[in-house]
Structure 1
């Protein structure tokens, strides 16, 4: 499950970059509002999935409340989910 959570954290961060650097400029500078609707929907889905997986990992791996709170707060800050992905990758390697 850590690997899945790590991948979702990565894709959630990438979707944030796409939303801010591709979709929003397309909406405001090229008049293509659909770009934000599509990218925003994908990003929103990934954020919800991130939170669900965070709760599942909290339960399965007996993470501390501090760790879960840190991951949750960090997930609310654009692009910082890359840090969560990197931290999870370290845990995956350590478990091998």
Structure 2
């Protein structure tokens, strides 16, 4: 994996967690708006919308650089639109990055089968 691909995945990972948090907060604000006088849907909706757009841009860049198959790309997109999906995406991306680091070290050290 080259440095630009790793950077694209890192950016996607960094935005997936705040996007997931903003989605959960927006859902809570929507419930509170309908059950109380508290209304934070406007500002939270704007923040979540911005984070979602950034996520989609980083997702498209990552898909282009990593050459994911359609199933993997669709999974990471779907994780952006389901509650708690941003947390799952961040965890999967971290695990993939860790696996890549281990494989790169093994290749550098000349371990067979890496």
Do both proteins adopt the same fold according to a TM-score greater than 0.5, normalized to the shorter chain? yes
RMSD of equivalent CA atoms: 1.5
Q: How big is the shift at 1:44?
A: 0.8
TM-score by length of 1: 0.85
Tell me what 2:77 maps to: 72
Q: Which runs of 5+ in 1 are unaligned?
A: none
CA radius of gyration, larger in: 2
1:95 and 2:76 matched: no
Residues matched between the structures, number: 94
Higher helix share: 1
Which of the pair has the greater relative contact order for Cα pairs under 8 Å at 6+ separation?
Answer: 1
Q: Give 2:63's match in structure 1, choosing from 58, 62, 65.
A: 58
Aligned match of 1:41:
46
**TM-score, normalisation: structure 2:** 0.73
- Deviation, 1:26, is 4.2
| Partner of residue 20, structure 2 | 13
